């Protein structure tokens, strides 16, 4: 059966026309789904009984079940959702001063094989549909009775490897007649799929692009992230420059600091050289230790030195608050523990 949350408003209008209904019904239904967050077609009280029956026959509402929820002392909450086909995905809710931010997954598993990532070793299973991405937001809003203000595509999966569904999910959650989360409050994080960065630049979306850079030489980056063998640092940064030129949006570079791997002063110097002149921001991430992983967290002293060097040399850099270190906060960790696949 079709998932009604997969459709953006325009597509839903077409679906309603196909069912012999007036397109304005789509707006009412869209509101019930994305604003009222109903869990049953029967709750759509201004929709006729006859249409509700048609909806039930043709669509599902895709309501996730929570398999597990962990809460950190700092308020970060991590969900493991049953996506209704025997698979499970993770979603993380973070509480910031500027609002509630949700880190969503875009795929079940991931093909990219980044060495520092807990999802590595979790075999790629399939892409999430647009509706399955949107439902992560709705399920958390229902569970916590809150409104999510920011969405980051930084959970399990490479969002640009599931390009069409991710872009459509953004259109759905961005719609003022639905969740109405502004594009500037949506961030897509990529390991560096260059052709898709060029494609995204043409979409005219105002979301933030976040690049997982993590190293300053091709040798080191290829060792940490196999995607670098296909698109090296220079090729990636050229795509980033194009994205900035086209969208006029600042790019955020993610740099996970791992002890003795990429955290010395020479790395900081090379990073300054690489990013000089770009409208960007560097987000330094104290790496989470992964079970059996070869990467360990850099010392606090090194992290601060690294940040200060960048700031002193004209690159705006901040250290990301370590969220939920007492729960399994690196992407894929909770899933790995709970799902034996």
Residues near ligand SF4 (CB under 6 A) are 110, 112-114, 117, 119-120, 156-158, 191, 331
Angle at 217 between CA 214 and CA 103, to 5 degrees: 15
Least distance to ligand SF4, CB of residue 107, Å: 8
Least distance to ligand SF4, CB of residue 278, Å: 22
Least distance to ligand SF4, CB of residue 112, Å: 4
- CA gap 332, 210 in Å, rounded: 19
Q: Beta-carbon neighbour count of residue 318 at 10 Å?
A: 13
Provide the annotated active-site residues.
Answer: 90, 331
Beta strands in the chain, from DSSP E residues, in sequence order? 2-3, 59-60, 65-71, 77-82, 88-96, 99-103, 107-108, 126-127, 150-153, 186-190, 208-212, 251-257, 280-286, 317-319
Closer residue to ligand SF4, CB minimum distance, 210 or 298: 210
First-last CA distance in the chain: 25
Least distance to ligand SF4, CB of residue 115, Å: 9
Tokens of 49: 């009984």
DSSP string, 272-328: HHHHTTS-EEEEEEEPPP-TT-S--BPPHHHHHHHHHHHHHTT--EEEPP---TTTT
Q: Are 127 and 109 in contact (CB under 8 A)?
A: no
- CA gap 247, 199 in Å, rounded: 12
Closer residue to ligand SF4, CB minimum distance, 21 or 90: 90
Closer residue to ligand SF4, CB minimum distance, 158 or 267: 158
Alpha helices for 120-177 (secondary structure H): 130-144, 163-174
Closer residue to ligand SF4, CB minimum distance, 178 or 332: 332
Least distance to ligand SF4, CB of residue 109, Å: 8
Least distance to ligand SF4, CB of residue 128, Å: 13
Q: Beta-carbon neighbour count of residue 324 at 10 Å?
A: 21
Closer residue to ligand SF4, CB minimum distance, 179 or 213: 213
- Residues near 25 by Cβ (< 8 Å), separated by ≥ 6? 16, 47, 51
């Amino acid at each position: 059966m079709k998932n009604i949350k997969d459709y953006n408003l325009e597509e839903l209008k077409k679906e309603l026309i196909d069912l012999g209904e007036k397109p304005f019904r789509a707006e009412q239904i869209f509101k019930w789904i994305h604003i009222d967050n109903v869990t049953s077609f029967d709750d759509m009280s201004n929709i006729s009984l006859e249409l509700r029956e048609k909806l039930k026959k043709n669509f599902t509402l895709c309501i996730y079940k929570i398999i597990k929820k962990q809460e950190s002392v700092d308020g970060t909450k991590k969900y493991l959702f049953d996506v209704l086909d025997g698979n499970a995905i993770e979603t993380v809710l973070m509480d910031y001063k500027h609002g509630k931010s949700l880190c969503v997954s875009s795929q079940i598993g991931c093909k990219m094989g980044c060495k520092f990532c807990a999802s590595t070793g979790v075999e790629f299973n399939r892409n999430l549909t647009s509706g399955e991405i949107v439902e992560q937001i709705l399920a958390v809003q229902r569970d916590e009775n809150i409104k999510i203000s920011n969405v980051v595509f930084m959970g399990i999966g490479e969002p640009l490897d599931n390009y069409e569904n991710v872009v459509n999910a953004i259109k759905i959650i961005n719609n003022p007649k639905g969740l109405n989360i502004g594009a500037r409050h949506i961030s897509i994080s990529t390991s560096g799929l260059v052709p898709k960065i060029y494609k995204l630049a043409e979409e005219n979306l105002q979301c933030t692009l976040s690049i997982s850079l993590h190293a300053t030489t091709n040798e080191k980056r290829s060792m940490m992230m196999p995607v670098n063998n296909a698109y090296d640092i220079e090729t990636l940064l050229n795509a980033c420059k194009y994205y900035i030129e086209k969208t006029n949006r600042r790019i955020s570079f993610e740099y996970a600091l791992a002890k003795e791997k990429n955290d010395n002063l020479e790395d900081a110097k090379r990073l300054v050289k690489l990013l000089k002149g770009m409208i960007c921001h560097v987000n330094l991430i104290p790496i989470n230790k992964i079970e059996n992983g070869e990467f360990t967290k850099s010392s606090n002293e090194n992290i601060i030195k690294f940040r200060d060097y960048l700031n002193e040399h004209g690159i705006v850099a901040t250290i990301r608050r370590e969220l939920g270190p007492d729960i399994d906060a690196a992407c894929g960790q909770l899933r790995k523990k709970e799902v034996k696949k």
